[in-house]
Structure 1
Amino acid sequence: MSLPGEAAQLEMAPLERLQELKRKAVEAQTARRAGVMVLFYPDLKLQTRFALILRKTYKGVHSAQIGFPGGSYEDTDADLMQTALRETEEEIGVPTGDIHVLKELTHVYIPPSNFYVHPYLGIVQDTPKFILQESEVDALVEVDLPQFLSDDPLTTRVLTTSYAHQIKVPAFELNGHIVWGATAMMLNEVRELLKQL
């Protein structure tokens, strides 16, 4: 299947950010690179879920935010898919060998942290035994797929961000958490992709 791409991502981008995203995309040649995993799995009742994480509070632009398991590319990684797999195992304990990567999604540039993020869509066949990396992950957020695909999670919030004060942003409300910014943009591409099935 073809990817919905940037058009789907931009539906969840704060309007004030669109011009900055386009302008700064040129600078992505010097951006740091990261790989993240959109990981689907069956829960104990064999219902499909995917995993998000609540990041620890730290001095940085993504402190205490919801995101995908993943992180920075390291020289020992063969490519960004391996980065996403390695970081997923480190952060939530799902072994690299258990994850079947189905597709690379559309990458997205994140101006506040100067990261060029490459998301991957992966599945595991069995319910994972999650082990959270205490130094980086505050909590696991397990999202029910049918709930995510409904219109219920779509919302708008007024937030203060690292680059703007009191801006209205499109978001998802998932398990009591507000998911916005780059994570919401990537999630919206996943959502549009799955709606094609």
Structure 2
Amino acid sequence: MSERPDGLPGWWEPLLTRARSARTEDFTTLRAPASGGRAASVLVLLGEDRPGEPDLLVLQRAATMRNHAGQPAFPGGAADPEDRDAAATALREANEEVGLDPASATVLTTLPELYIPVSRFVVTPVLAWWHAPHPVHSREPAEVAHVARLPVAELVDPANRIRVRHPSGWVSPAFQVRGMLVWGFTAGVISALLDMARWARPWEPGPLVNLPDAPVTVPDTSDEVVS
């Protein structure tokens, strides 16, 4: 991992410094089990379409999937035995899911391991700079229905921030951005990083929005290319 690569945009501070010293408690109160969890990684990839305007790469799971149907997420997945480390897992998965060229992303740091009880994954978010953005698209339409670059300016807009309640009763911060409802693990990580970067703006939580029991509808955009 590079300490501070040449050309890194100024907006990475104070996010990068604070992320490098982050603790699990900065993201969740849940603790990973001493054993039995399955290792996984996600790629938290920040780039910019225009100078000084950072954005975040996300995908939306296909509505037909058994787990996480229709849910926006970071690229990522379970570790393979051949993966050198968490960063290798995240970059491999991003390549397989959306065609990301691993050489286009500079890994800056890894965040603390975070536990997802429903899947028993112990997830390492990998924070990276998309120094050479290029067109990406769904490479596995049966798994990935939609790919998007979400501008940070829209994520921090108070009008786009809500709280949602899962049918289990679990409450999560959420974002309504570009036709997607980003919630759960992904929204929690985004919310914490926005605070660390001091990008977050005051917002009124308002009434809780109940998540539907049925899978979320996703657009039929398997042929789209995001650049």
TM-score, scaled to structure 2: 0.71
Q: CA deviation at 1:2?
A: 3.1
1:1-197 equivalences under 5 Å are 1-3=17-19, 4-10=22-28, 21-22=30-31, 25-27=32-34, 29-43=35-49, 45-46=50-51, 47-133=53-139, 134-160=141-167, 164=168, 168-195=171-198
Q: Matches of 2:106 and 2:37 in 1, distance apart?
A: 28
If asked which structure has higher relative contact order (CA below 8 Å, sep 6+), I would say 1
Tell which structure's C-alpha radius of gyration is larger: 2
**Greater CA deviation, 54-63 or 185-194?**
54-63
Give 5+ residue unaligned stretches, structure 2. 1-16, 200-227
Question: How far apart, CA to CA, are the structure 2 residues paired with 1:74 and 1:104?
Answer: 18
Within 1, Cα distance between the matches of 2:181 and 2:137?
23
Q: CA deviation at 1:7?
A: 3.8
**AA in 1 matched with 2:190:** L
Percent same amino acid at aligned positions?
Answer: 26
Q: CA RMSD in A?
A: 2.1
Moved more, 88-97 or 58-67: 58-67
Q: Which runs of no fewer than 5 residues in structure 1 stay unpaired?
A: 11-17
Q: 2:62 is matched by which residue type in structure 1?
A: K
Q: Quick check: which one's helix share is greater? A: 1
Q: Distance in 1 between matches of 2:25 and 2:180?
A: 24
Cα pair 2:172 2:188 within 8 Å, conserved? no
Q: Is the Cα–Cα contact under 8 Å of residues 104 and 133 in structure 2 kept in the other structure?
A: no
Q: Distance in 1 between matches of 2:66 and 2:37?
A: 16
Task: Identify if the C-alpha distance between structure 1 residues 8 and 153 changes in structure 2 by more than 3 Å, giving closer, same or farther.
Answer: farther
Q: Give, in angstroms, the shift of residue 104 of structure 1.
A: 0.8
| TM-score, scaled to structure 1 | 0.80
Counterpart contact for 1:149–1:195, Cα < 8 Å: no
Count, aligned residues: 179
- The list of structure 1 runs, each at least 4 consecutive aligned residues, that deviate by more than 4 angstroms after superposition, is none
Q: Cα distance 1:131–1:169, how it changes in 2: closer, same or farther (>3 A)?
A: closer
Following superposition, the deviation at residue 159 of structure 1 comes to 3.3
